[in-house]
Amino acid sequence: MAFREPIDLIVRGGTVVNADWQGAADVLVRDGRVLALVEPGTYRSADTRGVTEIDASGRLVLPGGVDPHCHVGFTSGEFTSLDDYRQATTAAVFGGTTTIVDFAIPRPGQQPADVVAAQRAKADQGLCNSALHACVVEWDDTVPEQLRSVVADGVVTVKMFTTYRGETMADEKTILNVMTTLRDLGGMVCVHCEADHIISDVQERGEAAGAISACHHADTRPELAETASVAEILAIAESVAAPVYFVHQSTPEAVDLVARARSRGVRAFTEAVAHHLVLDESAYAGAHPERFVCCPPLRSAPTVAGLRDRVRMGQVATIGSDHCCYDTAQKESVSHDVRAMPNGLPGVETRMPVLFSELVVKGGLPLGRFVEALCANPARLNGLYPRKGVIAPGSDADFAVWDPSLTYEMRSAALHMATDYTPYEGLTVTGRPVTVVVGGRPVTDAGRLLDPTPRGRHIRSGALDRALVC
Ligand code: URP
Ligand code: ZN
Ligand code: ZN
């Protein structure tokens, strides 16, 4: 029997791709949510006035991307990245991402819960929804109550750092305490792992040898600093039976440590980020090494190949952007000393198209696995599933209608991020989002912004318990 209920929008004729299913289906939307997936051409209604139609013939219909790692207007040292929620989410939507997870990172003297409240208040400026990771730097008696209140308000993940001493670095006992507290609250710690004592020693030696500028960046943060820190944090998580998520893992060794721990029953998860899967340290020998300064740094070509293998083997749960919108002038101003540089690369807009091209088109990654790592798992591990990350009845009507065969060159001039460069300048890319729908409304189409109305909201993450069963 034909489906006849009234709808607002229909996406006709495409191939719907979820993590665990793909096939030809028309997608029916009402009130911002998916109402049903139906056999192509079978929807009948007495009244189709006011129904928006999107012709997706020959195209893929992907769930809107969920970027689990996106810094918006992020202050580190003396630098603040250059975007606000409107700019970051506009760029996200142009790149097929319809949910971002930003960070509320305290500056010295600030309280984690206050920073969460301040950052959450910005979400309404966005063109799409957003969620947040909190951050704890120092332990004191107020932290348990602050964590209880942020989790109750729907922020269930807390980023912690084992590097950036004097800024955001937390000591191991603080990490253990936060892990234990969050374990009991249904949340999870997300850790940036680079052993700071190893890095600072290597950097001191680099300075003495006159090798501390942007072109030396990869050497100043060695792989073994990441390996050592991941091993330590895994041991803490295992000891207290807490879940743990490793952000931006950049080496196969680090991913393998997590996979081995998972096989012992530790609830441990790997996030990779786009630039570690696509670029390598040869970028630091180019004309603009400063543009590629991020932590962990870009690694050697064999390391990149090993990390890609881990994606193919299913050991990488999520792939984020680690978007940080600094521009060339900010990066150049201190490029003689990497210790003073603003770290991070712009990428919220390029994450999905570049990875579709590199992993699916060139690398043969199954489409369902791409959707799993860029949409479904980021939603799951941030307590947003099945509202986000899947096209299914009841989920938010966030889609990227995707042309899988269009080939073009990535150019910064055609992007919307609040900076003057992309690390992928000139890269030949195949596949791009054509029409992007947010909450049932087409927001971009064929490179045009159709609807600049900021309808984004902060969304509360649910408890993670069920998502964290390995
Ligand atoms: O280089 C990076 N990753 N900058 C952003 C902050 C962080 O460590 O995630
Ligand atoms: Zn980090
Ligand atoms: Zn980051």
77-107: pLDDT as tens digits: 999 999 999 999 999 999 999 999 999 999 9
The CATH architecture one would assign to domain 9-62+393-449 is Roll (2.30)
pTM of the model: 0.98
Percentage of residues in the chain with pLDDT exceeding 70?
99
Mutate to test the pocket of ligand 1, among 324, 331, 341 (most ligand atoms within 8 A of CB): 324
- With the C-alpha atoms ordered 18, 22, 24, 25, is the resulting torsion angle positive or negative? negative
Percentage of residues in the chain with pLDDT exceeding 90?
96
Report the alpha-carbon distance of residue 204 to residue 220 in Å, rounded. 9
> pLDDT band at 470, cuts 50/70/90?
low
Side by side, which strands form the sheet with 15-17? Answer: 22-24, 15-17, 60-63, 399-409, 428-438, 441-445, 448-449
List pocket residues of ligand 1, CB cut-off 6 Å: 71, 192, 248, 294-295, 322, 324, 343-344
User: Residue whose CA is closest, atom 8 of ligand 1?
Assistant: 295
Ligand 3 centroid to residue 131 C-alpha, Å: 15
337-393: pLDDT as tens digits: 999 999 999 999 999 999 999 999 999 999 999 999 999 999 999 999 999 999 999
406-443: pLDDT as tens digits: 999 999 999 999 999 999 999 999 999 999 999 999 99
Ligand 1 atom having least distance to the Cα of 76: 6
User: Residue whose CA is closest, atom 5 of ligand 1?
Assistant: 344
Alpha helices in 186-244 (DSSP H): 196-208, 217-220, 223-240
Nearest ligand to the CA of 190 is: 2
Ligand 2 centroid to residue 370 C-alpha, Å: 23
Element (H, E) at 27: strand 26-30
The protein residues having their C-beta less than 5 angstroms from ligand 2 (an ion) are 192
User: Residue whose CA is closest, atom 2 of ligand 1?
Assistant: 344
Distances (CA, A) of 165 to 90, 161, 171, 301: 33, 9, 9, 29
Residue 130 has pLDDT above 80, yes or no: yes
Given a contact cutoff of 8 angstroms between Cβ atoms, the answer to whether 354 and 408 are in contact is no
Ligand 1 centroid to residue 169 C-alpha, Å: 12
Report the alpha-carbon distance of residue 430 to residue 410 in Å, rounded. 10
Domain range list for the chain? 9-62+393-449, 64-389
Given a contact cutoff of 8 angstroms between Cβ atoms, the answer to whether 119 and 132 are in contact is yes
* Residue 276 buriedness (CB in 10 A; 0-12 / 13-18 / 19+): buried
CA 164 to the chain's CA centroid: 21
Report the alpha-carbon distance of residue 219 to residue 214 in Å, rounded. 10
Ligand 2 centroid to residue 165 C-alpha, Å: 13
CATH number of the domain at 64-389, please? Answer: 3.20.20.140
Give the start-end residues of each E strand in 274-367: 318-320
Which residue is listed with tokens 């609250």?
Answer: 185
* Per-residue pLDDT, 189: 98
Ligand 3 centroid to residue 44 C-alpha, Å: 47
> pLDDT band at 56, cuts 50/70/90?
very high
57-69: pLDDT as tens digits: 999 999 999 999 9
Q: Single out the residue of 406, 297, 307 nearest to residue 357, CA to CA.
A: 406
> pLDDT band at 47, cuts 50/70/90?
confident
Which residue is listed with tokens 């990245």?
Answer: 81
